Amino acid sequence: GHLDAFLKDGQRRDFLSALPTVLVKERTNEIDAPKVNSLVLYVGIHALARLQSSQISLSRTPEMEVLQKLMDFDDKGRYLCLNAIANQLRYPSSHTHYFSCVMLYLFSESKNVAVKEQVTRVLLERLILHRPHPWGLLITFIELIKNQRYGFWNYPFTRCATEIEKVFEQVAKSVLSPQSSSISAGGGE
């Protein structure tokens, strides 16, 4: 009820401030991962309906306010929330495109370098695993590292240790191989 009211017109500011407490398990201080996953999926579906029916910017929606509010959690909570978003980076679809834009928006608009680092961590952890990688995951990571708008390689966490630097370079080479470039070119960016 309160979520729907907020998503309808963005007026119920009390909902947004109370959101973190709603996502915590009863009698604990732990984030309830299934609730977060459900919230992210529901908000995404609602956002797609809104974006298809109007020419509004992604950043100026109540849905994006909800997703940005999730970045206010501590490191562990934020990690769970970013994983819930990354779970939606799948095959070519408007759903995947929306969540790819969300992930990139959270990276670019956050003033907190820890958020940028965690976005990178969540994507990288999935790319280190064996192939095949979901199309949406590849496209999001390729966009993040190739588009100068994000300034990805300028952040200290990409160069904090030689081992980390090598992992980044290896993953970048892997996802930017001619095979994956043909995937991104044919995917309708």
Beta bridge partners of residue 31, listed in sequence order: 24
Q: Which of 1-10, 17-26, 63-72, 158-167 has the lowest mean pLDDT?
A: 158-167
**Whole-prediction pTM:** 0.87
Distance (Å, whole) CA 12 – CA 31? 23
Strand-pairing partners, residue 24, are 31
The candidate with the shortest Cα–Cα distance to 66, out of 43, 34, 99, 91, is 43
Residues of the chain with pLDDT > 70, as a percent, come to 92
- Note the helical H segments in the chain: 2-9, 13-22, 33-53, 62-69, 75-86, 94-109, 113-128, 135-146, 162-175, 178-186
At 104, the pLDDT band (50, 70, 90 cuts) reads very high
Per-residue pLDDT reduced to its tens digit, 11-44: 777 888 899 999 999 888 899 999 999 999 999 9
pLDDT-based confidence at residue 92 (cuts at 50, 70, 90): very high
Coil, strand or helix at 7: helix
Residue 154 DSSP class: G
Lowest-confidence pick of 43-47, 77-81, 83-87, 153-157: 153-157
Rounded-to-integer distance, Cα 24 and Cα 139, Å: 32
pLDDT at 63 over 90: yes
* 187 touches 141 (CB < 8 A): no
Q: How many residues does the chain have?
A: 189
Q: Which amino acid is at 148?
A: Q
Q: What value does the mean pLDDT of the chain take? A: 87
The string of pLDDT tens digits covering residues 130-148 is 778 899 999 999 999 889 9
Query: 96: closest CA among 175, 184, 34?
Result: 184
